[in-house]
Amino acid sequence: VLLSFKSASNLTNLTNMAGLVAAMQKLSVGEAADLAASVKADGPIKSGLADKVLELAKLCEEKEEKKAIAALNALEALTAVPSAEPYLVSCLSSVLIAASNNKPDVRAAASTCSMAFAKNVSPMAMKGLLPAIFANLPVEKKWTTREAALNMITEFNTVAPKQLGAALPEIVPEVTACMWDTKKQVKTAATKAMTAACEVIGNRDIEHMTGKIVTAITKPKEVPEIMHELAGVTFVQSVESPALAMTVPLLLRGLKEKNTATKRQSAVIINNMSKLVDNPVDSAPFLPLLLPALTSNASSISDPEAREITERAVAQLTRLQGLCDKAVTTRGDTSAIEKLLKDELPTKEISAALGVAIAHAAVVGTTMMDVGYMEDSQWAKLVASIFEPFFDAKAAIEKVRVEAEKMLVIPEEDDDDDDAEELCNCTFTLAYGTKILLHNTKMKLKRGKNYGLLGGNDSGKTTLMRSIANGQVEGFPDASEVRTVFVESDIQGEQSHLSCVDYILYDPKIKAMGCTPDQVREVLGQVGFGPDKKAKPEHATSTLSGGWRMKLALARAMLQRADILLLDEPTNHLDVINVAWVKNYLNSLTNVTCIMVSHDSGLLNDCCSYILQIDNLKLNMFKGNLDDFVKVVPEARAYFSFKASKLKFKFPQPGNIEGVKSKGKALMKISKCTFTYPINRKENGGNGIPTLYDISIQVSLSSRVACVGENGAGKSTMIKLLVGEIEPEIGDVWKHPNARVAYVAQHAFHHIEQHLQKTPNEYIRWRYANNGEDKESLVKVTMVFTDDEIKKQKTPHEITFVDEESGKISKIKKLVSELVGGRKQNKSKQYEYEVKYVGSSQDNGEYLDAKTLDKMGWSKAMKAVDLKLAQQAGLLQRPLSTKNVEQHLHDCGLEAEFATHYRMSALSGGQKVKVVLAAAMWNQPHILILDEPTNYLDRESLGALAGAIETFDGGVVIISHNNEFCSQLCPETWVMDAGHLETKGDAEWMLKQDTKIEQQQQITEMVDAAGNVVKIEGEKKKLSKKEEKQLIKRIKAKIKAGEPLEESEEDFAIEKDLI
């Protein structure tokens, strides 16, 4: 007689374990609901289910069809009873085995039962089912069992998506193996399971790629194309273990492809994704797979660029590995939670049933840790409830939860200054345009502390400070709570006419504070301004040197009484005396917090109590000054050591100069020049004191000169005189007509401030578009005709003409209307320039010598022709194509991404300096003049710049306060002191070299902008008179004998009228 569960008396009998076993043995198909109801009413302990559930599991594998179906139906019903869940987990494997029963009805019941397990399981307990599922996926198992197991994984997408995502590192390898199965049903089920798993990765950056990632697993030929698409993804969101679990199999396949391009793309993706891994523990399961494959590629790939990309990815993963080793965590460790439960539960006597409950609670607890469910109410509901059949465990579970929370936290370094007021403690993400600079990073600032902000060029240092000042950093205190001031020395063009006092009063924040002119003058006096000082409060800001501009910016900040000072290169342009003043000032601010970006290692050592480093999209804080920081992070030595720089710049070498055979021959000269700015001249009401007194210098191809002196001494003024931006009152300035000069001014950005909407590539091509002529060189004051020169040009001048046929000499008064642009050397090796006379109908072919044109007031026009021809000679080496300009910018340290695809308005200060430098170097100058080149460049870039200068074959003049930079490069020093020049060092060193200039290898072809190869005639060798006579004799003999002439002989014969 089959046991009926419909009466209360029968329900009572279930408390007897033997009765339960007997009941299970006689269970009928239609009584499953009654069994579930009884367990729900009495609980798994009282009903005996907890101790005897394995008997029910055995029935599932019974050969007798009715018994197996009844048991499967009973288990299906019990899955809807939450209290039974811990004890049913052990039955799942039997259910999946039953799915391969040879009886169709049993198979159907098993399939329905397994899906009931998947649908009714508590999401947090889903992970507890995985061991049984994985155990039934191997190829040795029957295909119907494997199909049922895979269908359960697909169902988890609906009932427990977040938990499925957290378990993907374990699931993906198991399912991937099934996707290659020969059995169509298994392969289909595996593909569905993998697709369902992909849908829960929770990463918006790659969720549109999930279908293609699944395709790549079964279709290896698709891998290169999918890798190409994935390489184009901009990763913004934090990368967690689900996203890694889905992409790592594809990346591994990409790393093992034969195609180098695919290997490279895999390395790029790995590098980009790993930078956005917030918790290193997420990457732990995958590092043993990726690192060996990447390391192998780094040593075997032949392409240098692809190998370098791979090496970067190796370094990035090695960094993550180090963080994983430090981040010792027991997150997701069921054994740790199980031990805590046993320690905290109110009983030490653990029965078999209680042991099952503890193991199940450990799985639920670790899953909650994985998905971030750490609220006390959540643990009370989902974990403590498991122990309700035994005792009240809420207090014990709360203790376990608190300990579990500690397991998730990576301990931070203790801060000794606990008594200092905390101004800021926030977590934020920072982007500039489409580029992520900082991702989900922390920043903590304390009052009265000085923080040095370090990072490579383009890492986002200035952007971070500007964002803080503008209130754009999420979580940063409001301006009403913390007053923040950004100190920068750049003066906007529309404000340059204002006096120093008016410039400060023009600031909106100063206006809002109601500051008076007297208050402004008082503060300006504190930083060194005064009526009888070098810098005067009433003078225009445009007259200030770089050092005084920084002092002006500091004075403006002092007036605002800031809580936080943000200083961008505060010692730029400053001499030693003023750098010491800045250090003393910063150290005296005991109640003000300073964040400073600086490449001055002395400042960072003497003033900083903390170092903030931007690295891999994170802001890392280190206690101590720069030296302390380098002890902890030795690779950061590149920030302040030139020799540690791995970055390389390469400047184009200058071409030959006609008539110059010695590297020591002067190409530029200033001879006994005196100069006074117009504002200081007596006729304009000034004091009449010159800025420069009786200056004489010269520069050659061998020059390596450092120009030093305190702020306002006249260094930049002397250089402006040398390059022709200003004219001397007394003395002469000369430049070789064929010499090309590159000049990067102190306030370098003025070169590009009118072109910020262009990309760097577009700017250089615009600047040199007119046959290599530099548009920037046409706006110099010294190229504008004076009234006296215009008067001479309008006065007829007597010109002597010699008739070539008759030898008759005639003198005619003529006016020159313009210089056409041609130039040639006469027999005396003096230049003659092509001119057009007033009233002449002849447009070209008439030449006048330089001395005559000078008397007629055309000296500046001759210089313009010389400059144009010299610049055009520089263009011959490289056509002005997008590709060539991009490569040139890369040689000057600007990556192609920023060179061709970013507008200059989106570039950092360091990147803009590289643009200005590259633009100046495009036409292969013979002389390079750098005014404060160390401003805005980080140490790595400075090291690269120093290396490029060392290998540059032209002359170099550097104005800088960076003694380390100058001493490395320059054996000769020009010391400026109040307008007087003194030379030090070995000024004649260049003359002691082998001064003969080697003939450069002639270029025989070049590639134009359209990619066409153009043959170039090399410069013809100058023949001696003896050689010329021999050649004429040989050509005449060939002509007489009727022999064909070579092309060069034919050209010579035509030139000499031999044919």
Out of 20-29, 90-99, 705-714, 973-982, least confident range: 20-29
Confidence bin at 780 (pLDDT 50/70/90): low
Section 819-838 average pLDDT: 77
Q: pLDDT averaged over the chain?
A: 79
H/E element, 547: helix 546-559
Asked if the model's pLDDT at residue 564 lies above 70, the reply is yes
Out of 403-417, 477-491, 826-840, 884-898, least confident range: 403-417
- The first and second tokens of residue 788, run together, are 């006296």
**3-state DSSP call for residue 426?**
strand
Q: How far apart are CA 724 and CA 720, in angstroms?
A: 6
Out of 287-296, 688-697, 942-951, 988-997, least confident range: 988-997
Of 771 and 1007, the structure prediction assigns the larger pLDDT to 771
Confidence bin at 844 (pLDDT 50/70/90): low
What pLDDT does residue 804 have? 64
Model confidence pLDDT, tens digit, residues 709-759:
776 778 888 888 888 778 888 888 888 887 888 888 766 566 677 788 888
What pLDDT does residue 877 have? 61
What pLDDT does residue 38 have? 83
Exposure string of 335-363, with b = 16+ CB inside 10 Å and e = fewer, is ebbbebbeeebeeeeeeebbebbbbbbbb
Out of 128-137, 232-241, 982-991, least confident range: 982-991
Q: How far apart are CA 282 and CA 489, in angstroms?
A: 44
Of 285 and 761, the structure prediction assigns the larger pLDDT to 761
Model confidence pLDDT, tens digit, residues 607-622:
898 999 888 788 888 8
Model confidence pLDDT, tens digit, residues 181-212:
889 999 999 999 999 988 888 777 787 888 88
What pLDDT does residue 551 have? 81
Of 806 and 81, the structure prediction assigns the larger pLDDT to 81
CA torsion angle for 133, 139, 141, 142 (degrees, to 10)?
110
Out of 250-259, 726-735, 834-843, least confident range: 834-843
Of 11 and 601, the structure prediction assigns the larger pLDDT to 601
What pLDDT does residue 394 have? 92
Rounded to 5 degrees, φ, ψ at 527 are -100, 5
What pLDDT does residue 146 have? 95
If DSSP states are collapsed to H, E and C, what string results for 825-868?
Answer: ECCCCCEEEEEEECCCCCCCCEEEEHHHHHHCCCHHHHHHHHHH
Residues paired with residue 438 on neighbouring β-strands, in sequence order: 430
Asked if the model's pLDDT at residue 12 lies above 50, the reply is no
Asked if the model's pLDDT at residue 376 lies above 50, the reply is yes
Q: How far apart are CA 57 and CA 68, in angstroms?
A: 9
Q: How far apart are CA 501 and CA 540, in angstroms?
A: 9
What pLDDT does residue 359 have? 93
What pLDDT does residue 188 have? 93
Model confidence pLDDT, tens digit, residues 51-99:
888 888 888 888 888 889 988 999 999 999 999 999 999 999 999 999 9
Asked if the model's pLDDT at residue 876 lies above 60, the reply is no
Q: How far apart are CA 1029 and CA 846, in angstroms?
A: 30
Query: Does residue 796 contact residue 837 with C-beta atoms inside 8 Å?
Result: no
* % pLDDT > 70, the chain: 83
Confidence bin at 270 (pLDDT 50/70/90): confident
Section 406-432 average pLDDT: 70
Asked if the model's pLDDT at residue 882 lies above 50, the reply is yes
What pLDDT does residue 23 have? 55
Out of 191-200, 353-362, 786-795, 934-943, least confident range: 934-943
Confidence bin at 138 (pLDDT 50/70/90): very high
**3-state DSSP call for residue 804?**
coil
Model confidence pLDDT, tens digit, residues 283-312:
888 888 889 999 999 888 888 888 888 998
Q: How far apart are CA 999 and CA 856, in angstroms?
A: 38
What pLDDT does residue 1009 have? 41
Confidence bin at 1004 (pLDDT 50/70/90): very low
Highest-pLDDT range among 26-40, 188-202, 651-665: 188-202
In which residue are the tokens 């006074």 written? 676
State if pTM tops 0.75. Answer: no
What pLDDT does residue 633 have? 78
Rounded to 5 degrees, φ, ψ at 478 are -65, 155
Confidence bin at 842 (pLDDT 50/70/90): low
Confidence bin at 13 (pLDDT 50/70/90): very low
Out of 490-504, 738-752, 937-951, 1016-1030, least confident range: 1016-1030
Section 589-606 average pLDDT: 85
What pLDDT does residue 733 have? 86
Asked if the model's pLDDT at residue 171 lies above 80, the reply is yes
Query: Does residue 172 contact residue 245 with C-beta atoms inside 8 Å?
Result: yes
In which residue are the tokens 């036409």 written? 923
What pLDDT does residue 880 have? 79
Section 24-28 average pLDDT: 56
Of 222 and 434, the structure prediction assigns the larger pLDDT to 222
Burial classification of residue 184, based on how many CB atoms lie within 10 Å of its CB (0-12 exposed, 13-18 middle, 19 or more buried)? exposed
